[in-house]
Amino acid sequence: MSPEHSTSLSGDSLTPTNSLSPWDYPADEPSLFAQEDGRKRIKTRTLAPNLTRRSHKKSRAGCFSCKARKIKCGEQKPDCASCLLKGIACVYPTEPAARKSNLPLIKRNPPSTPSIAGAAFSMLDMRFFHHFLTIAYPHLPVGNDHVWVHEIPQFAEQHEYLMHAILSLGASHLSRLTGIDYRRESLVHRGQALAGLNQALSQASLCYGEADAMLASCYALTFQASYMGDGLTDFITMVRGCALTTDKIRRELSPTAFNLHPDGHLKFMAPKLERLPPVDPTLLEDAYSALEEMIPYLTDDAHFGFHAGLVDVVSALQTSSASGYMQFTELYTIWYELCHDSFKTFLDPNNLVAQLLLSYFVAVQLLIIPLAAHEWLHRADVSRIRVLYGVTEWAESIFQRLENSEYAQFLSWPQSIVSTVVAEVNGDILQLPSVLQLHLTSRDITPNTILAPP
């Protein structure tokens, strides 16, 4: 979406027709104003009997100053001869800009101090925005739904990159649900959101709403990446961005509408941990064995650190769902704690060991979904399960990258998890233990359980 800018002219630029001044007339011309009986009267001049008015072509594209003085404009650009002679500003009417899109556009009249000056949004963008507000807005940070629905849309009016992040998320989520390809629209908005977010992050957030715009954009882009088939790298990068932005807000004591208490997530989930469904132990046994066997292939600290994190999650899930869920939330901190160079190396597609570890991460995340769904049960809807196709496509890309490598021997476990999830999303009859545990939705989640990535 490319903004269209319109030139606005203030009233001071124009001379009103009812306030002509003496310098608007030649010096040797008698005044048109005369006094009679104490009242002003406009005198009219008459032509001699033997004279006639010369016809002339009416100027329709003349400058405003000539129009105001009701004289013919020579239409010279940039300043007409009459305005140059009198030394006054010469302003021409703005030519209407050609429309660049076939979509019907709604042009906004921005407030007095807008940041989206002259922006134009298509009717399709309006659909993305509505979809965001009603269905697709993030459930993280937990317990902040009211902020996403009420405050964030208001902040987006003043922060263009936040609006683009909102629209990109709405487009990607809607695309997964409907099967209509909105990838082009979502990527255009995503690119503009990232450009504005990077600029905002380099500045101190002093005013109310600025910190929220940055953090909300990070979360929106994180969730959007989970709906993109090639979005794993973007997802991990934005997870790191969420953590860095939250830390920035806390360090700078920036005003924020979000509840970002350090223990907020744990307090929110504590009453629900006992109700988390168990993970089938047969889904975990092969994972633990395979992770142990790949240790000789680990080569750097990032490999060892992330591998240890995966082992801790699998071991904790074997103990209880609650401990496994809490351990999984700690797995994200590994990306946050890596230095820039190590993080960049870890995400390199040619780092095949890291790619193998990420295939296990994707599979473990799919196991966690029935547990993480308790973070947003009141918004759940099992009919939206197809949004998980984005995550399964992450894994399938890794499988293709590693299929002819020495690491292919370790892919059987994540492949079995992903194939089971695809079958569940497609509604197929399972021969293996359920991963998403959709059978639980008819019991304590009503028929409205969303199963989106945590």
DSSP codes joined into one string, 414-432: HHHHHHHHHHHHHTPPPSS
User: Among 260, 291, 307, where does a domain finish?
Assistant: 260
Within this chain, do residues 271 and 176 fall inside the same structural domain, yes or no? no
- Shared domain for 205 and 306, answered yes or no, is no
Over range 118-125, report the average pLDDT: 80
Range(s) of the domain holding residue 356: 266-426
Q: Are residues 227 and 354 in the same domain?
A: no
Q: What is the band of 32 on the pLDDT scale with cuts at 50, 70, 90? A: very low
Mean pLDDT of 215-240: 97
Q: Are residues 295 and 250 in the same domain?
A: no
Mean pLDDT over residues 100-105, rounded?
A: 35
Give yes or no: residues 270 and 256 share one domain: no
Q: Residue 393 — pLDDT band, cuts 50, 70, 90?
A: very high
Residues 306 and 221 in one domain: no
Whether residue 407 sits in one domain with residue 275: yes
Cα dihedral sign for 416, 417, 420, 425? Answer: negative
- Answer with the residue of higher pLDDT: 337 or 79: 337
Taking only the tens place, the pLDDT of each residue in 342-390 is 999 999 999 999 999 999 999 999 999 999 999 998 887 787 899 999 9
The token pair at 32 is 């048109």
Same domain? 224 vs 300:
no
Percent of the chain past pLDDT 70, that is, above it, reads: 76
Rounded mean pLDDT, 218-227: 98
Q: Is residue 447 part of a domain?
A: no
pLDDT value of residue 15: 32
Asked, for residue 91, whether it belongs to a domain, the answer is no
pLDDT at 104 over 90: no
In a domain, 323, yes or no: yes
pLDDT digits (tens, 9 = 90+) for 282-314: 999 999 999 999 999 999 999 999 999 999 999
At residue 35, what are phi and psi to the nearest 5 degrees? -95, 135
Residue 346 near residue 354 (C-beta atoms within 8 A): yes
| 400 domain-assigned | yes
Q: Is residue 364 part of a domain?
A: yes
Same domain, 213 and 253: yes
Same domain, 167 and 233: yes
CA distance linking residue 407 with residue 418, whole number of Å: 17
Give 52 or 120, the one with higher predicted confidence: 120
Question: What share of the chain has pLDDT > 90, as a percent?
Answer: 63
Does 51 fall in a domain?
no
How confident is the model over 36-62, as a mean pLDDT? 51
59: confidence class by pLDDT, cuts 50, 70, 90: low
Q: Residue 270, Cβ neighbours under 10 Å: how many? A: 12
Long-range contacts of 432-441 (CB under 8 A, 24+ apart): 433/280, 433/282, 433/283, 434/280, 435/283, 435/366, 435/367, 435/369, 436/366, 436/369, 436/370, 436/385, 436/388, 437/277, 437/370, 438/382, 438/385, 440/277, 440/370, 441/380, 441/382
pLDDT at site 119: 59
- Continuous H helices in 122-257: 123-131, 145-146, 152-158, 160-178, 183-201, 210-225, 232-252
Q: Which of 199, 232, 260 is the last residue of a domain?
A: 260
The domain boundary, picked from 203, 236, 260, lies at 260
Any domain includes 82: no
- Cα(239)–Cα(234) distance, integer angstroms: 8
Q: Give me the pLDDT at residue 379, please.
A: 81
DSSP assigned state of 105: E
Predicted confidence at residue 58, as pLDDT, reads 53
Residues 367 and 349 in one domain: yes
Positive or negative, the CA dihedral 185, 191, 192, 197 is positive
Note the pLDDT tens digit of each residue in 137-170. Answer: 999 999 999 999 999 999 999 999 999 999 999 9
pLDDT attached to residue 130: 97
Question: Is residue 95 predicted with pLDDT exceeding 50?
Answer: no
| Residue 18 banded pLDDT, cuts 50, 70, 90 | very low
Q: DSSP character for 277?
A: P
Q: What local confidence, expressed as pLDDT, does residue 391 receive?
A: 97
Are residues 254 and 271 located together in one domain of the fold?
A: no
Domain contains 164: yes
| pLDDT tier at 443, thresholds 50, 70, 90 | very low
Give the residue from 106, 174, 180, 108 showing the smallest Cα distance to 137.
174
Top pLDDT among 138 and 119 is at 138
pLDDT at 271: 94
Structure tokens at 193: 């959101």
Task: Look at 235-239, 298-302, 327-331, 441-445 and tell me which has the smallest mean pLDDT.
Answer: 441-445
Number of structural domains found in the chain = 2
Confidence of residue 57 (pLDDT cuts 50, 70, 90): low
- At residue 24, the pLDDT reads 34
DSSP letter (8 states) at residue 263 = T
